Structure 1
Amino acid sequence: MTTSIENALISQAPPSLYYIPDFITPEEESYLLKQVYAAPKPKWTQLSNRRLQNWGGLPHPKGMIPEDLPQWLQTYSQKIAALGLFEDKVPNHVLVNEYLPGQGIMPHEDGPLYYPTVSTISLGSHTLLDFYRPITETQAGDNINTNTETSKTSFEDRYLCSMLLQPRSLILVRDDMYKVNLHGIAERKEDTITDSVVNLCKCDGVKIGDKLERTTRVSLTIRYVPKILKAKLFLGKKR
């Protein structure tokens, strides 16, 4: 682990959250947004509260049939791998999410399909990423919430903290903050900064009490899928 990534650790949060402001330049941000919106229409999947693109293959409990990432994503996958939090692995899967103002995602886990570290680059707008304890320790241990968006019931009393994700920043989540706790984005058009934002010391120009208006945000969630299958295995079964 490099000294720079150690400096990115948020000591005010439970283990382990890392935050790097200005991980990419404004020029890189413009380039990445151009690539996202240049993707063909069939690449987009429309959900009720956002739309997304899937790159690298479709993760599945039985394994993912990998597809090569385009060069514009490979570049940042390798840049993130160089930080050392994926050990010797290079992320091989990217989920692109587009959030319009007022859109978000219910608290959820990323689950065991992925190596237990997730990284996200934010483009275009800020957001607040909120963290919560699981509904019960039994459910957490049994992975009942894995890859599902849970109900809104009683999230307030399980709230842990928030991270302000500014445009061009990188967040990395690992340890219990990945494996046990839930994360989500509230559906609102404006965020009020409070002392629950644990990375505020790394966010220039923002202070407690500020109200930040959301615009359209694109996130690149960059992960590593350990379980890989070869397409020819499936083709062989069909014969």
Structure 2
Amino acid sequence: MASIQDLGATCLDRFVVSEAPPSVYYIPEFITKQEEQFLINQVYAVPKPKWTQLSHRRLQNWGGIPHPKGMVLEKLPQWLDTYSHKIASLGALNEKIPNHVLVNEYTSGQGIMPHEDGPLFYPVISTISLGGHTLLDFYHHPTTQCDENSVDEAAKVATPEDRLFGSLLLEPRSLLISKDEMYTKYLHGIADRTHDTLTGKVLNVDACPQRAIGDVLERKLRISLTIRHVPKVLKIKLNLGRR
């Protein structure tokens, strides 16, 4: 597998998930085990007030709070800024450098409802997975899936299960980049379960070493680093924790 130093905009196509709509890139072993442990240590070394507890998971927000009027930019800590620049070097963000990172902690059985990231972000999402795996599920919007169908037909695909388009297996130390149609056209989410069965709906099994259709994987504690770019920022910059 190529190292990060060997990757670039011209190399990214080697990692395209051809079974998915444009454009999805999946890079297994994007970081080393040593880097993974370093990042995990950094996540848990932050002060407790940095964590936000939600009903089904907890998270850390870095870079500022995205807002339609603009984000008050906060400098990313070095341990996140390093990987922000590494992802930018791949060329997927058209020379933009990510300035926002959401750290999500998922214990076994925890997930997130189908959603879209929306217009506050540049339409590219990159995710580094730490610790454990997950299946990231993609869903049709009811209106886009049924734009040629009747209202009665639309009602038949009202549940997420009916609207499931496909899934991506995100293994520890991998990088996922989603853009274009996969960012704008589909919802994405993670089901609340403790085990995942790899079926034909998993679009990138071939890109995952030692995995095959039919495998049953037990979920463990997983940390995701969702690294994005917020285009609209305010001129005021905060450098929290420094004088």
SS at match of 1:53: strand
Q: Deviations over 1:65-118 (max 9, x none)?
A: 000000000000000000000011000000000000000000000000000000
Higher share of residues assigned strand: 2
Q: Deviations over 1:170-217 (max 9, x none)?
A: 000101110121000000000001111111111011111110000100
Specify the alignment match of 2:229 in structure 1: 224
Superposition pairs of residues 5-154 of structure 1, within 5 angstroms: 5-137=12-144, 153-154=158-159
Q: Does 1:202 align with 2:204?
A: no
TM-score normalised over the length of structure 1: 0.89
TM-score normalised over the length of structure 2: 0.88
Query: Which segments of 5 or more consecutive residues in structure 1 lack a partner in the other structure?
Result: 141-151, 233-239
RMSD in angstroms over aligned alpha carbons?
A: 1.6
Specify the alignment match of 2:151 in structure 1: none
Percent identity for Structure 1 against Structure 2: 63
Query: Which segments of 5 or more consecutive residues in structure 2 lack a partner in the other structure?
Result: 1-7, 148-156, 238-243
Aligned counterparts of 1:216 and 1:161: Cα–Cα separation in 2 = 23
Superposition pairs of residues 161-180 of structure 1, within 5 angstroms: 161-180=166-185
SS at match of 2:233: coil
Aligned counterparts of 2:189 and 2:77: Cα–Cα separation in 1 = 28
Moved over 3 A (4+): none
Q: Does 1:181 align with 2:186?
A: yes
Aligned counterparts of 2:61 and 2:55: Cα–Cα separation in 1 = 17
Aligned counterparts of 1:29 and 1:178: Cα–Cα separation in 2 = 26
